[in-house]
A and B are shown apart, each in its own frame.
Chain A
Amino acid sequence: MFACIYVPDFPVEAIVRAEPLLREQAVAVLEGKPPLVRVIALNEKARLLGMEVGMTKLQAAVFAVPDEKSAPNIVKPKGKSGTVVLRQRSPEQENSAHSALLDVAHAFTPRVEDAAVDTLLLDLAGLERLYGATANMARDLASRVSAVGLEANTAIAANPDAAMHAARGFSGTTVIPAGKEAQRLGVLPLPVLLDAFEIPPQTNSAADREREKLREQILDTLERWGVRDFRTLARLPDHALASRLGEAGTRLQLLARGAGMRPLALCEPPSGFEEAMDLESPVETLEPLSFILNRLLEQLCARLEARALAAQELCLRLHLEPRVADEDTTTTQELVGNSHTVGRATFERTLRLPVAMRDAKVFLKLLQLDLAAHPPGAPVIKVWITAEPAPPRSAQRGLFLPITPEAEKLEITLARISGVVGERRAGIAHRLDTHRQDSFRMERFAATPEETKQAEHPTTSDIEEQPPPLALRMFRPPWQLCVRVAEGRPVSVSSLPIQKDRGALQGKILWSAGPWRSSGDWWAENAKQGSASEDQARPWDREEWDVALANGNSNGVALYRIYRDLGSGHWFADVSYD
Chain B
Amino acid sequence: MPSAATLRARIESSLGERLSSKLLLRERAAPLTVSMGVAALDALTGGLPRGALSEIAGPASSGRTGVMLAALAGATRRHEVCALVDASDSFDPASAVAAGMDLERLLWVRCSERADTPRRKGEASRTALGQPPRNAGFAFGGVLEQVLKVTDLLLQSGGFGMVVLDLGDIPAESARRVPLTSWFRFRRAVEPTATVLLLVEQEPCAKTCASLVVRLEREAVCARDSAPDQAQQARVPHPFREAKGWESGQNHLHIPGNSFVSHAVLLRGMRLRAEVVRSSIPSRANAVLDGDPGWTQRKLAQSAGVNFELRAAW
Query: Which 10 A/B pairs are nearest by Cβ-Cβ distance?
Result: A405-B159, A422-B115, A372-B124, A578-B65, A468-B70, A558-B60, A511-B253, A471-B65, A513-B265, A413-B157
Contact code string A444-477 (vs B, CB < 8 Å = 1, else 0): 0101001001011110100110011111111110
Q: Which residues in A have their C-beta under 8 angstroms from that of B310? A: 467-471
**Interface size on B (CB < 8 Å)?**
101
Whether a CB of chain A sits under 8 angstroms from the CB of B153 is yes
Closest residue to A429 on the B side, CB-wise?
B93
Number of A-B pairs whose CB atoms are under 8 Å? 302
Decide: B223 and A513 in contact? CB cutoff 8 A: yes
Chain A residues whose C-beta falls within 8 Å of the C-beta of B194 in the assembled complex: 403
A429 and B106: CB pair below 8 A? yes
Binding site for B on A (CB under 8 A): 283-287, 289-290, 336, 368-369, 371-380, 401-406, 409-410, 412-414, 416-417, 419-423, 425-431, 438, 440, 442, 445, 447, 450, 453, 455-458, 460, 463-464, 467-476, 487-489, 503, 510-516, 546, 548, 550-551, 554, 556-559, 575-578
Give the residues in chain A near B38, CB-CB below 8 Å.
463, 467-468
Q: A447-B159, A476-B90 are in contact. Are A401 and B77 (CB under 8 A)?
A: no
> Residue on B with the closest CB to A283?
B129
- In the bound complex, residues from chain B placing their C-beta under 8 Å from that of A286 are 124-129
B69 touches A468 (CB 8 A): yes
Contacting B92 at CB < 8 Å: which of A430, A464, A473? Answer: A473
Q: How far is the CA of A255 from the CA of B144 in the complex (A)?
A: 78
Tell me, in angstroms, the Cα distance from A430 to B98 when the chains sit together: 14
The main secondary structure of chain A at its interface with chain B is mixed
Q: Are B135 and A336 in contact (CB under 8 A)?
A: yes
The answer to whether B149 and A559 touch across the interface, beta carbons within 8 angstroms, is: no
| B114 is an interface residue with CB less than 8 A from chain A | yes
Candidates A373, A421, A489; contact of B111 at CB < 8 Å? A421
Please pick, from B70, B74, B125, B159, the residue contacting A406 in the complex, using a CB distance under 8 A: B159
Which of B43-62 touch A at CB < 8 Å?
A: 59-62
13 interchain pairs, CB-CB under 8 A: A285-B128, A368-B124, A403-B158, A409-B159, A420-B146, A425-B112, A440-B93, A458-B35, A470-B311, A474-B89, A512-B261, A513-B266, A515-B263
B interface vs A, CB < 8 Å? 35, 37-39, 42, 59-70, 73-74, 77-81, 88-99, 103-112, 114-116, 118-119, 123-135, 146, 149-150, 153-154, 156-161, 168-169, 171, 194, 221, 223, 251-255, 260-263, 265-267, 269-270, 308-313
**Nearest Cβ in chain B — how far from A380, in angstroms?**
6
What are the residues of chain B within 8 A of A287 when measuring CB–CB?
Answer: 125-126
Known: A413-B154, A473-B168. A463 touches B37 (CB 8 A): yes
Closest Cβ–Cβ distance, residue B72 to chain A (whole Å)? 10
- A290 contacts across to B, CB distance below 8 A: 125
Chain B residues near A578 (CB, 8 Å)?
60-66, 168
CB distance from B193 to the nearest CB of A (A): 8
Given that A468-B69, A470-B311, A513-B265 are contacting pairs, would A430 and B103 also be in contact in the complex, using a CB cutoff of 8 Å? yes
Within the assembled complex, what's the spacing in Å between the Cα atoms of A404 and B308? 32
Query: In whole Å, how far is A78's beta carbon from the nearest beta carbon of chain B?
Result: 45
Task: Please name all residues of chain A whose beta carbon is closer than 8 Å to the beta carbon of B108 when the two chains form the complex.
Answer: 426-429, 442
Besides A285-B126, A368-B125, A474-B91, 16 new A-B residue pairs in contact (Cβ under 8 A), listed by A number = A284-B129, A379-B129, A421-B110, A425-B112, A429-B91, A429-B106, A440-B93, A458-B37, A458-B74, A467-B310, A470-B269, A471-B69, A513-B266, A514-B265, A515-B261, A557-B61
